[in-house]
Chains A and B, each alone.
Chain A
């Protein structure tokens, strides 16, 4: 029984930890407001959209409504 419980607990903890390690780890450039960006953008979607679009998007591009309410939240 005890062995079963330990095995069960190991499963409970091991699986989410594994899943966590598989999530995208996106490192943004440090700077003022970084935590706000991570929070506001990352609540709804992967931060990957930032490096994906950053080499070419200007301020107007970032402020355009992408349908996720994010432009609203910036206003």
Chain B
């Protein structure tokens, strides 16, 4: 793959990416927006490790609004709470997450996806034009980093210490992966489909970021190779020109700058399949299994657990006594949100929130609830329930990588 692809992209460093962005200074995509150097302290999620506030700033990548910059190389930027007040996240507010620092600017004209592998009946290359000529499908789906809310784990665990903002929801348009695979055909012994992106490590010793899916999920009708995000080409930092969309499953499978699709007859190896991105067996109520990768103690993370976020108010916000509308978002692994309940008495009693626009079972579902706030403090909790009856948890299910944190949030408002 590597040799064919090196001709298809021009390798450019992030620094050059940034300078290309600087040339856009007059176009409203300015890197010199004064907010880029603003401390992110007030935007950080309460509870993340204290070290972050010593250096994190709001920073503006080319084509993006200010995001909370946790690291610039590889680029890891999360969205502040205010960007989650609509069920669709605009492209310029969408979070950015990379493992590796060598991120080429891919030339759409020469871009190709190599499709083949031992588990396929042949091999082919698909250009962006060819991809766009295939039957197109759209899905509104949440892309959430597996480690979203890792920074809230108690005790803290190593990794990128995300707060609430390593997620977003967009309308993705592209070809079905199953249609792409059908152009060559799978052998009966194919068990996984592996994916690689154009981004790579700085030194050879670092394993390239390669991920696989079980065949059943790869050929699901919702799994797409997308070239549009909310009606526009994908932003560079979200995988231009095409990326994998795996609705319901965590972001680790959503390969950006997709350059190869490989049918396997043996399980994909490598650091990023094991030990990375694994959860302990039996700890979480997930339905979707990745059997070919399971072992006695762990299994790859698969679908997202049901979750919600209060987005109208920050913890500690001041409000006027009286009617206060608290609102937010709810989502899950693709079963759909059945209800959201709210409690203002520490979880003793719950009342149904009003759920808003249904953009599909993979989308953020907006909700709102009117509370009657007396003078003083009131603590609001939210709990989402999905269509198969799963709910959020009252206490953290600890795991060493800090995944699947769906502890019910508590937001305290000060009414006067």
Interface size in chain A (residues, C-beta < 8 A): 31
B399 within 8 A of A: no
Q: B56 — which chain A residues lie within 8 A by C-beta? A: 48
B129 to chain A, nearest CB (A): 32
Q: Is the CB of B272 within 8 A of A57?
A: no
CB-CB contacts below 8 Å: B214-252 with A: none
B101 within 8 A of A: yes
Q: Is the CB of B72 within 8 A of A18?
A: no
B15, B155, B207: which contacts A23 (Cβ < 8 A)?
Answer: B15
With A57-B158, A67-B206 given, is the CB distance from A51 to B72 under 8 Å? no
B51, B57, B203: which contacts A53 (Cβ < 8 A)?
Answer: B51
With A19-B19, A45-B71 given, is the CB distance from A52 to B59 under 8 Å? no
Measured in the bound complex, the distance between the Cα atoms of B53 and A54 in whole Å is 12
Q: B201 — which chain A residues lie within 8 A by C-beta? A: 44, 68-69
Q: B207 — which chain A residues lie within 8 A by C-beta? A: 67, 69
CB-CB contacts below 8 Å: B93-111 with A: 99, 101
B114 to chain A, nearest CB (A): 24
B205 within 8 A of A: yes
B52 within 8 A of A: yes
CB-CB contacts below 8 Å: B336-390 with A: none
With A44-B203, A67-B206, A69-B203 given, is the CB distance from A56 to B155 under 8 Å? yes
Contact indicator per residue, chain A 31-47, by CB within 8 Å of chain B (1) or not (0): 00000000000011110
* Pairs of residues from A and B, 4 with the lowest C-beta to C-beta distance, nearest first: A69-B205, A46-B71, A51-B51, A19-B18
